[in-house]
Amino acid sequence: MSFSGLRCVENLERILYTYPQSLILRSINTMKINIDKDLLLDNLTVASRFVSNRFSSVPSLQGILFETKDKHINLYATNLTSFFHTKIKNPTTEEKKIVFDPKKVMEFLSLLTPGIVELDIEDSQLVIRKDKTKGTFSLINAEDFPYPPIVKEKEEKIKTDVLKKHLPLVLFAASSDDTRPVLNGVNFLTQDDEIALVATDGFRLSLLKMKKEDSIPQMLVPKGFLEEVVRLSKEEKEMGLRFSEKEKVISFTFGDTTVYSRLITGDFPPFEKVIPSESKTKAVIEKDEFLRNIRIVSVFAREVSNIALLSFGKDGITMSPKTERDDQNSTLQDADVEGPPQKVAFNFKFIIDFLMHAPDKKKIIIEVLRPDAPVVFKIEGNKDFLHVIMPVRIQT
C-alpha cells in the first residue's frame, strides 16, 4: 500500500513537471461510474420536470445536481419552490458533486441502446460512453445549488387512492399564469371532519369535498408540484407525508424519491360567493356526446374568439358558435332540460377541459341561474364535486 502510494507521488511529480496544470488535475479527479442507461434516463426525466425554464438567467438552476455519497447517486432538481430528490444505489465510494443541464444528456441517453453506460466525471465535463459511442457534456458551477428544505416533522403514511382519484378533477382548474401566486395552487381546506379541495384560475373553479380520513393539513400547494405528485403516485399504494407548519413546507415520499414544495402564502380569494346556490334551468346530458358536440362547435368557434353558445330549450341544448348569422353551424344535443329556456355563452375550451377530466360514461348535470351568473357543472352520482364556469357576456 505505502509502496504504491509512494510511486504515485513520484509519478505525479513527474507529470506535474511535464504537463500543463489543467490537464493533470483533470486526470487525477476523473471518477468513473457504471449505471444502467434506462435507470438513469428515467430518473433524470422525472427530475427534469422540477427544473423551471423561468430561471434562464440563473445557470445552476437550469441544471440537475448529481452527487455521489454513501454508495448512492443522489439527484436533486429544483425551481426554488418545489424540490426533487432521489437516491440510486451505486457501488461507488468516491464523493463528487456536479451540476449539468439535463436536456442534452437525456436526448443523448434516449438514443443509446439499452445496457450499462459508463460515466466519466471530470472537473469541467461529463463524458458518457456506451460501446463505441461517446458524448461529452459541459458542467455548470455546482456551488450554491439549493438543497431541499429540511423537514423535521414525523412522516405519516397516507394512501394515494384519494389523491389519485380526486386531485385531477380539481388540479386542472388552477391557474398556470404566474402573476397571481395564490391562484397557482390547490387550496386544501379542513373543516371539522371534512376536507375541501378548491382551485380556480378566475374563469372556472373546481370544488371537491370529502371526508377527512388521512391527516392532510390545511394548505395551499402549487399546481405544478401536485401534478408531479399525482404522476409519481400512479404506481404507489402509499406515500409518506411530512408537513412543517413553521417552514411552510410539505413533502411526499415514494420509495427512494422525495419531493418537497414550499406552500403558497397569501389569501385564497373568497370563492363561496361565486357558487350559485340556486338554479333556474337544469340539464342532464351524456358526457361523451356532449364532448363530441362541443368539439364540433369548436371547429367554427375558433374564429369567433372561442365562444360557443349553448341554448337550453325543451328539446335539448342547441350548440353553435357565436356568429351574426345563426343556424349555419349548429348541433342539437339531446338532453333532459327542466326550467325556462336560456342562452349562455362559454369559452368552449373551459367546457372541453372539464369534460376531459370528468369520468367516462357518466352524465353531466348543468345548472344555469342566469346567462351572466356562474354556471354549475356536476357529475351525476358524485355530489361532493362541482365545477363552475363563468359564462362570457354577450349582447343579445
Partner 1 sequence: MLSTFWSGFLRFVEKNSKENPVIYSLLKQLRPIEMSEKHIVLSCDNPGFVFFLQKKIHFVEGYLFDHTKKRLRIEIVVKAQNKRQEPPLLRFEPTIEDVFKKAGLNGTFTFDNFAVSSSNQVAYAAAQAVSDSIGKAYNPLVLYGGVGVGKTHLAQAIAQKVLAKKPNKKVLFSPGDLFTNELIEGIREKNTPKFRRKYRQLNLLIVDDVQFIAGKNTVQEEFFHTFNAVISNGGQIVLTSDKPPHEIRRLEDRLRSRFAGGLTVDIQSPDFELRSAILLIKAREKNIDIDLETAKIIAEQVADSRALEGTLLSLYAKTLSNGGKINLEAVEDFFMNVVEQKNKRVSPHDIIKTICTYYDVRQSQLKSPNRAENIALPRQIAMYLLRKELGLKYDQIATLLKRKDHTTVLHGFEKIKSLLARNDIFKKEVDRIVNTL
By CB under 8 A, name the binding residues for partner 1: 54-55, 57-61, 79-81, 141, 143-146, 149, 178-181, 191-194, 200-205, 262, 264-265, 269, 271, 273-274, 276-278, 369, 373-374, 388-390
For partner 1, the closer of residues 143 and 324 by Cβ is 143
The three cell numbers of residue 64 are 440537475
Q: How far is the CB of 386 from partner 1 (least distance, A)?
A: 13
Q: How far is the CB of 185 from partner 1 (least distance, A)?
A: 11
For partner 1, the closer of residues 57 and 395 by Cβ is 57
Q: How far is the CB of 81 from partner 1 (least distance, A)?
A: 4
In sequence order, what DSSP letters do the residues of 315-354 get, joined into one string? TEEEEEE--SSTTSS-EEEE-EEESS-EEEEEEHHHHHHH
For partner 1, the closer of residues 186 and 369 by Cβ is 369
Q: Are 209 and 170 in contact (CB under 8 A)?
A: no
Q: How far is the CB of 273 from partner 1 (least distance, A)?
A: 6
Q: Can you tell me the distance from the alpha carbon of 219 to that of 238, in angstroms, rounded to the nearest whole number?
A: 20
Q: How far is the CB of 111 from partner 1 (least distance, A)?
A: 31
3-class secondary structure, 110: helix
Q: Can you tell me the distance from the alpha carbon of 334 to that of 317, in angstroms, rounded to the nearest whole number?
A: 7
For partner 1, the closer of residues 79 and 281 by Cβ is 79
Q: How far is the CB of 203 from partner 1 (least distance, A)?
A: 5
Query: Which one, of 33, 42, 59, 47, lies nearest residue 121 by Cα?
Result: 33
Query: Which one, of 162, 150, 153, 148, lies nearest residue 233 by Cα?
Result: 162
Q: How far is the CB of 56 from partner 1 (least distance, A)?
A: 10
For partner 1, the closer of residues 173 and 309 by Cβ is 173
Q: Are 78 and 146 in contact (CB under 8 A)?
A: yes
In terms of phi and psi (left: phi > 0; alpha: psi -120 to 50; beta: otherwise), the region of 379 is beta
DSSP run (H or E) holding 238 = strand 238-244
Q: Can you tell me the distance from the alpha carbon of 249 to that of 51, in angstroms, rounded to the nearest whole number?
A: 18
Q: Sheet of 194-200: strands edge to edge?
A: 219-222, 185-191, 194-200, 204-211, 382-389, 375-379, 363-368, 281-286, 336-338
For partner 1, the closer of residues 234 and 246 by Cβ is 246
For partner 1, the closer of residues 321 and 391 by Cβ is 391
Q: How far is the CB of 181 from partner 1 (least distance, A)?
A: 6
For partner 1, the closer of residues 81 and 329 by Cβ is 81
Q: Are 242 and 215 in contact (CB under 8 A)?
A: no
Q: Which amino acid is at 305?
A: S
Say how many C-beta atoms besides its own lie within 10 A of residue 256's C-beta. 13
